[in-house]
Structure 1
């Protein structure tokens, strides 16, 4: 018996998709993106590990802490449920402090923009719910799956035609 890290990582990705929708209060901004799932080097060997690369975006520290706690809870829970012989490792990098604009400078820039563009300028749009832009932020995931039960053999007599036929 073994634990397949690809199946385990896939389960984690599915569970992470509900972090924002089910664990973040309406009005709080959070985005969790699984940017990469890396495992193995060939199609016929179950790898010994999988690596998920995530990107988390929030507007305030308490929401960020809540999202990070949910991610760790989900990953640890899925590893436990799968019977993983090792605990998951977490590495945090590319972390930046939240941007907090100086109020006096912001007001000065706002006044200058209002004077130049007019008080009704759309430059001062409110923060929007990220769910409203979901149609624009579509991510495409490509998967390459091995085809089992077909042989890709090349006969020296046909110049490779048998290989071309088997790959169709």
Structure 2
């Protein structure tokens, strides 16, 4: 059940990527990317440039920790008549459900995969590979191990990740840039 919930959540996350960025509801307004040009996601040797990211604050969980979810994708986003969509026909990205000891922001440090909601852990993560922007079909691949390093300087985040998927594929990721708050 949680996987279905997270799949739906991931879909809504993409639409929310710039929901707070623009008040222009008339016509088309390209918001572009908010990541540095060296941001990437690599899956078993296939590399994708990451262009946009979002952070969602879900508030307090258990164990006096706080749930922040991040989604980083290979597409820029565009606002068309107030609706925000990824540009292009498809995108690839990565999603993390993170648990921080800081109530107001994602704490800096190293986050490891865990089944618990303890601070500096992530309880779920997945790759979104070649997801259609029309139908949201594509490949959703569970990540079962790895460490995510989180750093922040002002409004810019820096994420570094190495890990493996459920099928044993190697993953690495680097993202530097701002995140849109949902």
TM range (shorter): under 0.3
Larger radius of gyration, structure 1 or 2?
1
Structure with bigger helix share is 1
Structure with bigger strand share is 2
TM-score, normalised on structure 2? 0.25
